[in-house]
Amino acid sequence: MTQLNLNVIGHGEVRVDIDHLIIAGWAGRDSAAVEHHIAELEALGVRRPTQIPCFYRVAASLLNPAPSIQVPGKHSSGETEIVLIPSPEGLLVGLGSDHTDRKVEAFDVTVSKQMCDKPIASMAWRFAEVEGHWDQLVMRTWRDRDGVRALYQDGPVTSLLAPATLLAKLDDSAALPAGTAMFCGTQPVIGELGYGESFEMELFDPVLGRSLSHTYRVEPLPVAE
């Protein structure tokens, strides 16, 4: 079990116990774009998913709200994602990074996702407060590499399946069980996919004029050859 103490904006702190963590992959709304991306990765040696969207189960202990994570070598990179979290305050919207080892991803996607911690913001919103204008939310990522900060991901959440659609594909009940958090998919990167010394994430709500954000550093560990 992993315990998260989340600041639910406008409602105060809430403690959430997470027993299960799900990473949704290939969760784009545009099926042609998803297929194109699958073909691109196949050319790099990444196996085609067995279903679309695909749901990877990883250890809940990977959730990490700290300002830095340690990873093996310099083969990993972040992916900003919305995180759905059941709580005593109802369903919450959080912000996380599916930080993934790209070298391992070429031979086993599930193992690659298990290789790295999953940074998560300590702030959250109640889903009910953004459900009515969900498609106006915007996700952004900045990557710092070699001392240069650059926009790495940017776009509206309309590129991804809406929460209700994604949950219905996960389970017939169309709801997350208590104690289960789910990362909801990511957007294409701008430029080259790859390592950075730090990643800065933002989920912006232009209707209510507020953001969820989190920045984390990446500390590479030496890898013995």
| Residue ranges of domains in the chain, CATH in brackets | 2-221 (3.90.850.10)
- Chain CA centroid to CA 213, Å: 13
pLDDT 10s digits, 159-211: 999 999 999 999 887 889 999 999 999 988 898 889 999 999 999 999 999 99
Mean of pLDDT over the chain: 93
pLDDT 10s digits, 20-36: 999 999 999 988 878 87
Residue 149's identity, in one-letter code, is R
**Of 93, 151, 158, which is closest to residue 121 (Cα–Cα)?**
93
Tokens 């080259």 -> residue: 192
Can you give the pLDDT at residue 1?
85
Can you give the pLDDT at residue 40?
67
Extended beta strands in the chain, E state: 2-8, 12-18, 20-25, 54-58, 63-64, 68-72, 76-77, 80-85, 92-97, 100-101, 118-119, 123-126, 138-145, 148-156, 180-183, 198-205, 210-221
Q: Which residue has the higher pLDDT, 79 or 172?
A: 79
**Least confidently predicted of 62-76, 99-113, 123-137, 207-221:** 99-113
pLDDT band, very low/low/confident/very high, at 84 (cuts 50, 70, 90): very high
Q: If you average pLDDT over residues 96-112, what whole number do you get?
A: 90
Tokens of 214: 């989190």
pLDDT band, very low/low/confident/very high, at 135 (cuts 50, 70, 90): very high
